Amino acid sequence: MTTRLVLASASPARLAVLRSAGVEPLVRVSAVDEDAIIDSLGPGAGPEETVIRLAEAKAHSVANDIVPDLDGVCWAGAADVLDCVVIGCDSMLRIGGALQGKPLSAEVARERWKSMMGTTGELLTGHCVVRIRDGAVVDEATGCSTTRVHFGTPSEQDLEAYLATGEPLEVAGAFTLDGRGGWFIDRIEGDPSSVIGIGRPLVRQLLGKVGVTVATLWR
């Protein structure tokens, strides 16, 4: 039986990364209160721990929905996930010693960009892979990838036009690499796919830890 990948995310960017790599995942959006999880970790939690715990919560939220469905009420595509891996991810930008998630408003995004221009930050993406076999969770693996991002200096006109698109409001760090925001990134050091939201090299390693090879996911 072919192993199916279930993406625990509504992110179109993550979906595009997987599709470009030969994988057509099932998409199941997690119902996770990110702020509550961060609060529960306390002030002593490090950046990597924070993004990994968020990724774990998302992956397990979806996995916990899948397993009861297989045992009782079925949903469309349930037959495809008797043998599957659920992948949850979470990205945050560390800059100036602080972690930044989604700005959610143009005002916050504007202030962040004004402080980021011409500086360097680290985009951290936590990953959690949950293995389901025969309708039961049997294994999991977690990890974090970190990529250094060197920000350019957009003109005021370009920045305002970028904010007006709405693109930076719903993404970690108020920028994208694969969208309009890529015009304002001078260079990166690390994995581009991780900056987009799901790091293929790290996912390959985590899949190996739960006994899945990349080729078995290709559709």
152 Cβ contact partners less than 8 Å away, ≥ 6 residues apart: 117, 118, 183, 184, 185, 186
List C-alpha distances in Å: 197 to 35, 50, 109, 171, 186: 19, 15, 19, 9, 19
Catalytic hit among 33, 39, 69, 90: 90
Which secondary-structure segment (H or E) carries 61?
A: helix 47-71
Whether 124 and 47 have beta carbons less than 8 Å apart is answered as yes
List C-alpha distances in Å: 166 to 172, 176, 195: 13, 11, 19
In DSSP terms, 189 is beta-bridged to 148
90 is catalytic: yes
Q: What sign for the dihedral angle of Cα 174, 180, 185, 190? A: positive
What residues act catalytically?
90
